[in-house]
């Protein structure tokens, strides 16, 4: 079996996947038509896709204007969640954690609970059709008032285990450092709501240190930890998984190219790593392509991919039963490979 076929056939786990950034173009086109707007697929892809001259996270985030406008009703959220998960399952993604910011879905009067319930319905329907297992990570947004984010976390806690599996914070990290959100994540910890944090995506190691100090179980991106042996040792000691998103990190100029991705450095330091898509439509990628890029640049072997699968299963925000199912699927494919021990 060639490595390319190996990647296509292997089971995959996507722990960092934004719902709005993964709105399938055909779904967006259908939603826009229902809104009375005529768009071609090419126009949708251009509006949502990262431009070639993108040079920053702020520019990258501008690509979310159209999907956020599309996802303002229970029906559109459900359709997006369903279609995204079905597409993920088609590339043998066996577990997907879809993250979104329910507090941004309020233009047409949709509440936080209603938004989460709609996404959950779509994901569960996809699971019934394809067998993919899923969870929902609710995202606070850095630019929103603290009281809005706090209210959303409290609602999410009430739904923990009923679709919701964790929380996060996303947005323009460069303009809003983690030190501003101590109260928010101290409340999440008090509530018993597990969390990951977008940190170190814009070069700030301090944001990663702050997230770890606050109790983050995982770090979204974490690219700034490259070269920092003390920070890597801390993350490894606490078994904090880094959610590596190769394509988006190149598109936002966090990394100059795929060869600069720190996945090998992090794994050699003992940090669990989960390779993820970030935004399937905005970045024009899927999980198969993410692994193929890293392998093409000599950063991953097949044994590394087995190790990443089990790192991802360990780090999943789900119960022991879910993890055991993921372990079984991994053992069935990877067998006794060095990275496949479980």
Give the pLDDT band (50/70/90) at residue 62: confident
Cβ atoms within 10 Å of 44's Cβ, excluding its own: 23
For residue 161, give every residue at least 6 positions away whose Cβ sits within 8 Å of its Cβ, in sequence order, or none: none
Catalytic annotation, pick one of 201, 210, 290, 292: 201
Number of domains in the chain: 1
> For residues 183 and 55, which has the higher predicted lDDT (pLDDT)?
183
**Among positive and negative, which fits the CA dihedral 263, 264, 265, 271?**
positive
Backbone angles phi, psi at 317, to 5 degrees: -85, 75
User: Does residue 342 belong to any structural domain of this protein?
Assistant: no
Q: How many residues are listed for the chain in this entry?
A: 342
C-alpha Rg value of the chain to the nearest Å: 19
User: Does residue 110 belong to any structural domain of this protein?
Assistant: yes
User: Does residue 116 belong to any structural domain of this protein?
Assistant: yes
Write out the H or E segment, with its range, that includes residue 241. strand 241-244
The CATH code of the domain that includes 209 is 3.20.20.140
User: Does residue 337 belong to any structural domain of this protein?
Assistant: no
**Among positive and negative, which fits the CA dihedral 141, 147, 150, 154?**
negative
Task: Give percent of the chain above pLDDT 70.
Answer: 96
Q: Which residues of 296-311 are buried (b: 16+ CB within 10 A; e: fewer)?
A: ebebbebebbbbbbbb
| Confidence check: pLDDT of 6 > 60 | yes
Q: Is 206 exposed, middle or buried (0-12, 13-18, 19+ CB in 10 A)?
A: middle
Backbone angles phi, psi at 172, to 5 degrees: -80, 90
Helix residue ranges, H only, the chain = 3-9, 25-34, 41-48, 57-61, 65-70, 74-90, 112-130, 146-158, 182-191, 205-214, 229-237, 246-251, 263-268, 287-296, 302-315, 320-334
Domain housing 150: 3-331
pTM: 0.95
Convert the pLDDT of each residue in 69-88 to its tens digit. 999 999 999 999 999 999 99
Give the pLDDT band (50/70/90) at residue 342: very low
User: Does residue 92 belong to any structural domain of this protein?
Assistant: yes
Distance, CA of 221 to CA of 297 (rounded, Å)? 19
User: Does residue 84 belong to any structural domain of this protein?
Assistant: yes
Distance, CA of 191 to CA of 342 (rounded, Å)? 31
User: Does residue 339 belong to any structural domain of this protein?
Assistant: no
Q: What local confidence, expressed as pLDDT, does residue 282 receive?
A: 95
Spatial CA neighbour of 262 closest among 205, 206, 333:
205
Convert the pLDDT of each residue in 11-42 to its tens digit. 999 999 999 999 999 999 999 999 999 999 99
**Any catalytic annotation for residue 117?**
no
């Amino acid at each position: 079996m060639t490595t390319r076929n190996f990647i296509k056939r292997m089971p995959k786990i996507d722990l960092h996947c934004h719902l709005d950034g993964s709105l399938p173009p055909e779904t967006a086109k259908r939603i826009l038509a229902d809104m009375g707007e005529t768009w071609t697929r090419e126009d949708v892809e251009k509006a949502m896709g990262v431009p070639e001259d993108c040079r920053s996270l702020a520019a990258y985030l501008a690509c979310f204007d159209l999907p956020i406008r599309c996802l303002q009703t229970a029906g559109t959220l459900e359709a997006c969640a369903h279609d995204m998960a079905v597409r993920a399952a088609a590339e043998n993604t066996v577990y997907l954690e879809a993250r979104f910011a329910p507090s941004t879905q309020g233009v047409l009067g949709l509440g936080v609970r209603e938004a989460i319930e709609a996404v959950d319905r779509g994901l569960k329907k996809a699971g019934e059709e394809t067998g993919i297992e899923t969870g929902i990570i609710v995202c606070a947004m850095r630019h929103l008032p603290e009281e809005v984010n706090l209210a959303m976390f409290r609602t999410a806690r009430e739904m923990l285990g009923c679709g919701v599996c964790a929380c996060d914070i996303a947005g323009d990290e460069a303009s809003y450092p983690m030190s501003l959100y101590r109260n928010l994540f101290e409340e999440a910890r008090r509530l018993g709501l597990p969390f990951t944090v977008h940190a170190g995506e814009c070069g700030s190691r301090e944001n990663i240190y702050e997230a770890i100090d606050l109790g983050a179980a995982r770090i979204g991106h974490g690219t700034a930890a490259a070269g920092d042996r003390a920070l890597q040792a801390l993350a490894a000691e606490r078994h904090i998984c880094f959610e590596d998103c190769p394509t988006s990190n190149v598109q936002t100029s966090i990394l100059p190219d795929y060869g600069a991705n720190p996945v090998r450095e992090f794994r050699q330091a003992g940090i669990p790593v989960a390779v993820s898509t970030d935004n399937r439509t905005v970045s024009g990628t899927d999980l198969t392509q993410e692994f193929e890029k890293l392998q093409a640049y000599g950063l991953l072997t097949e044994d590394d991919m087995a190790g990443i699968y089990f790192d991802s299963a360990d780090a999943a925000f789900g119960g022991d039963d879910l993890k055991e199912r993921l372990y079984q699927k991994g053992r069935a494919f990877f067998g006794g490979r060095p990275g496949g021990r479980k």
